[in-house]
């Protein structure tokens, strides 16, 4: 299944994409949140769609598409998880996954604007393959890790490099600004994307291609990441792991290239759809 959420920000309804068309599922009377995933929501939703297929109403084509997961308890990100990205930034190849967090208040829809933070001069892009947890994961072994996964999402891990790298402390303050986690257009359930070891990801800015990677080049695989993170924190249903970005970020160019108001970022991944975000100036 391809799960969508649509409508005004903070007041989204749920839906599903079937054969390229988006349909309303508000009659299901739940959101795609922790409770939904924890209580066998995917199977119950599958049955609901089967029982009500003939009566589903198509969503208007101009409806805003929101992030496909209601605000999760946490969004865990993995840094420097592609060899070519680590090399372009001049960083050492990690011996264990590098963990940081994005604030859940950074999560927006796949076609919402990216707002430059106040005083930002080094806002960057990062296309990523995201994993949505479907079942509580605590000290999970790698062999069983995928049993705890509900599906996958496309993510743009927008990053302010000065805040992240030049201001001391952790990376988090350059990662969690408002609008810095565009997600979607949909959550693809695990059964629809059985081979996640060979997924192409790409990103362009103003039509200029910058990133073109593949999950086969991940340093740490999805099962490894789920197992690893679960040893340091409990992963709850609906939590998101963003697995890292391939080479081609603005920081890696000489001189670096950063986003400015008016730029348009387009990104996509095999099986996860495409997204597009316009960059706007800071506003309160």
**47, 65, 83 - which closes a domain:** 65
56 and 161 share one domain: no
127 and 221 share one domain: yes
73 and 55 share one domain: no
95 and 231 share one domain: yes
pLDDT band for 283, please (50, 70, 90 cuts): confident
pLDDT band for 241, please (50, 70, 90 cuts): very high
Q: What are phi and psi of 87, to 5 degrees?
A: -65, -40
Domain count, the chain: 2
- Mean pLDDT along residues 220-249: 97
141, pLDDT greater than 90: yes
52 and 193 share one domain: no
Q: Which has more confidence, 16 or 172?
A: 16
225 and 172 share one domain: yes
Q: Which domain holds residue 222?
A: 69-280
14 and 125 share one domain: no
104 and 156 share one domain: yes
Give pLDDT, residue 166.
86
Residues paired with 188 in a beta bridge:
2, 152
168, pLDDT greater than 90: no
């Amino acid at each position: 299944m391809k799960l969508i959420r649509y409508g005004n920000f903070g007041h989204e309804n749920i839906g599903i994409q079937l054969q390229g068309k988006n349909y309303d599922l508000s009659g299901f009377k739940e959101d795609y949140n922790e409770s939904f995933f924890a209580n066998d929501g995917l199977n119950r939703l599958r049955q609901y769609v089967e029982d009500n297929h003939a009566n589903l109403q198509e969503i208007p084509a101009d409806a805003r598409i929101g992030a496909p997961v209601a605000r999760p308890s946490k969004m865990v990100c993995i840094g420097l998880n592609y060899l070519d990205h680590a090399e372009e930034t001049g960083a050492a190849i990690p011996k264990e996954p590098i963990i940081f967090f994005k604030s859940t208040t950074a999560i927006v829809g796949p076609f919402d604007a990216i707002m430059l933070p106040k005083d930002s001069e080094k806002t960057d892009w990062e296309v990523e393959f995201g994993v949505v947890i479907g079942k509580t994961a605590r000290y999970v072994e790698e062999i069983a890790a995928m049993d705890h996964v509900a599906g996958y999402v496309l993510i743009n891990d927008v990053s302010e490099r000065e805040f992240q790298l030049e201001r001391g402390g952790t990376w988090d303050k350059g990662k969690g600004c408002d609008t810095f986690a565009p997600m979607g257009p949909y959550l693809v359930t695990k059964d629809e994307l059985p081979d996640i070891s060979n997924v192409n990801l790409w990103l362009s800015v103003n039509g200029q291609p910058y990133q073109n990677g593949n999950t086969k080049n991940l340093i740490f695989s999805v099962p490894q990441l789920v197992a690893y993170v679960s040893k340091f924190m409990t992963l709850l249903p609906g939590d998101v792991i963003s697995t890292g970005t391939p080479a081609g970020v603005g920081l890696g160019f000489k001189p670096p290239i950063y986003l400015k108001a008016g730029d348009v970022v387009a990104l996509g991944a095999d099986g996860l759809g495409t997204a597009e975000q316009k960059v706007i100036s800071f506003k309160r």
